[in-house]
A = this chain, B = another copy of it.
Amino acid sequence: MPESTAMELVTVGTVESPLTDRAAAPKQGDEGAPEAWLIFDQRFADALYGIAAGDDLLLLTWLDRADRDVLRVHPRGDPANPEQGVFNTRSPDRPNPVGLHRVTVIAVDGLRIRVRDLEALHGTPIIDVKPPLGGIEER
């Protein structure tokens, strides 16, 4: 396989959250995650244009505390669950630890966006934001 060049991510923002400990964080955002702030870098302000309170968003993060050498896990960290390849789980440990989170926007304040249902830890780098795809007729 040819090596790809320039697959280097830039940090576009950072998560501000009360969650600081991976062991104590909920495994998914809808399992009791607190509200959090997304703090964007001024350079990317234009990319936020149009995002408003009430929107659902897909947030992509870089799970900087993940182990990139893990290829198989017991799902949800439970030894009773048969081992699976990480590509068949939502484990943060994986070759490219990109987190994918569905959040709801509570408020927009310039470069700061308040969201609900985010299980990412404080300080997690944000790499991308996308709207979820609705039905074909809504695009």
Contacts and interface: CB of A to CB of B under 8 A. Distances in A.
B96 A10 contact: yes
Within the oligomer, what is the number of copies of this chain? 2
A57 B129 CA distance: 19
Interface of A: 1, 3-4, 7-14, 27-28, 30-31, 41, 44, 46-51, 55, 57-58, 60, 62, 64, 71-72, 75-76, 83-90, 94-96, 98, 100, 102, 125, 127-131, 133, 136, 139
Given A1-B11, A96-B10, A49 B130 contact: no
Contacts of A60: 96, 98, 100
Contact of A87 (B28, B64, B130): B130
B9 A84 contact: no
Given A48-B87, A88-B48, A9 B72 contact: no
Nearest to A86: B47
B47 A90 contact: no
